[in-house]
Amino acid sequence: MTRAISLHDVSKTYTRGVRVVDQLSLDIAPGEFLVLLGPSGCGKSTVLRMIAGLEDIDEGLLFLDGEYGNDLPPSDRDMAMVFQNFALYPSMTSRDNIGFPLRIESPGADPAPRVDATARMLGIEDLLDRFPAQLSGGERQRVAMGRAIARHPSAFLMDEPLSNLDAKLRNRLRAEISRLTRELGVTTVYVTHDQSEAMSLGDRVAVLRGGVLQQVGSPRTVYSLPSNVFVAAFIGTPRINLLRGLVRAPLDGAMTISLGKQFLRLPEPLCLDHQLLRVQQGREVIVGLRSEAVRIAKPSAARTGEVVLTGLVEHLEFQGHEVLVHFDTGSRPAVVADLEAPRPRPDGRPSRRRRRGGTVLDRLRGRAGALRAGPVVTTDPSAPDPAPDSAEPRLPGDLIVRTTPDLEPPAGHAGAAAGRPRPPLRLRPERRTDLPQPGAAARPGRVTPAYGSPLAR
């Protein structure tokens, strides 16, 4: 038997007024595999623990199969949870760890048949007589999953079960989790900060930020049609190219988006979404370009509907099956504020870590930038733009292009990237986000491009 789970305006506030989940509403269908995705500290695990009954719900309603479940104790919810740290009893063998919840539920029954069946399903028959200290990380996680599967629960709750494993083992267990959950047909709620896991496992993905639900949809929809800038920046490897542009929509000429010294000319006749950009005349917008939506070619090889951007190759990343080329096109990257920063204090004051010079990630990023291009300068959207001839140390490239491994342009080589302007993403305003405000002109870049003639569609 599987279970439907519904959350209606659920909120959770800890001591000192820290609100970790804010009016979250989510419906999970019976047998669905839903992934809760977001950066660290966004409230994913808290949502999972509220569903399991390990955390009280301060506001809102929880329904299990349509019945009120806020006050239902964990033992009566018929759910099995798989923890990040395995949570195995060190004094018990694998057989005893898997059979322990069965002995608690039915003291007089023999758990051996269900333990053996679960071990065969997971391929751990030869590990049943070993203790956790004698197992590797992947074997421990299989035993932890076996303990959950043996109960035949109505829902699986998994809290980052693969985060402590190496990359190769993580990929293998990811495939096993996908196969097992679909064979069993049990409702599964999976928490992770790894977008690769979310995209490959989930029937639907729910993206959280700061305790607020940003978007829910299939992996394809969340990737192709993100609802706001945060979702667009968080989903995708490599991260989407976000460039700050200025809309130019003269009544007697072609509509363009200025990216500094280069521009994107929108193909004519304009589609409906491009026509809607006229109301943004003279205002700043954010242009999102996926790395696979741009190709490297000579300006003369532009296809119908493609627009040429030229730039300087600054860095190459060889990935084996592909190469990521970092271009400097003279554009101004858009900064998604606080994408991986901790939540602010409820009293509005900066945290102690922030007063000492930022988070660990900020300090490592600054140290890496200093080694490659001097100290990193954080862009303040409200600050005036520097003079065009001012030297600004920064990380390599403002445009990343994915290409085949046989193409190896040397660093410092001038190249051209051709891309087809697509209808812009309809991004709704984000909550608790300091995005670049309209009205600031795009900063001229350091590369003087050789413009290609935009071709009509």
Give the whole-angstrom CA distance, residue 390 versus residue 380.
Answer: 16
Q: What are the backbone dihedrals phi and psi of residue 60, each rounded to the nearest 5 degrees, phi first?
A: 95, 180
Residue 358 is predicted with a pLDDT of 57
Helical axes 167-184 vs 137-149, angle rounded to 10°: 10
Using the structure block, give the residue that is written with the tokens 């057989």. 95
pLDDT at 188: 94
The whole-number pLDDT of residue 323 equals 87
**According to the model, what pLDDT value does residue 410 have?**
57
Query: Any idea what DSSP says for residue 280?
Result: G
419 vs 377: CA distance, rounded Å: 29
Query: What does the alpha-carbon distance between residue 132 and residue 350 come to, in Å, rounded to a whole number?
Result: 43
Closest of 303, 290, 341 to residue 40, by C-alpha: 341
Q: Please report the pLDDT score of residue 338 as a whole number.
A: 58
What architecture is domain 239-345+358-378+392-419?
A: Beta Barrel (2.40)
Q: Are 399 and 287 in contact (CB under 8 A)?
A: no
Q: Could you tell me the residue ranges of all domains in the chain?
A: 5-229, 239-345+358-378+392-419
Q: What is the DSSP string of 136-186?
A: -HHHHHHHHHHHHHTT--SEEEEESTTTTS-HHHHHHHHHHHHHHHHHHT-
d(CA 245, CA 399): 14
Q: What is the pLDDT of residue 339?
A: 65
**Share of the chain residues as helix, strand and coil, in percent rounded to the nearest 5:** 30, 25, 45
Considering only the top CATH level, what class is 5-229?
alpha beta
CB 273 within 8 A of CB 425: no
- In tens digits, what is the pLDDT along the chain, a chain of 457 residues? 678 999 999 999 987 788 899 999 999 999 999 999 999 888 999 999 999 999 999 999 999 999 999 999 998 999 999 988 888 999 999 999 999 989 988 888 889 999 999 998 888 999 999 999 999 888 898 899 899 999 889 999 999 988 878 777 888 888 888 888 888 889 999 999 988 899 999 999 999 998 999 999 999 999 999 999 999 999 988 889 999 999 888 877 788 888 888 888 887 788 887 888 888 888 888 888 898 888 888 888 888 778 888 888 888 888 888 888 888 888 888 887 656 444 455 444 544 444 445 556 555 554 444 333 333 233 333 444 443 333 334 456 788 888 888 766 555 555 555 555 555 444 444 444 343 333 333 333 333 333 333 333 2
pLDDT for residue 379? 37
First CA to last CA distance, the chain: 54
- Cα–Cα distance, 443 to 362 (Å, whole number): 24
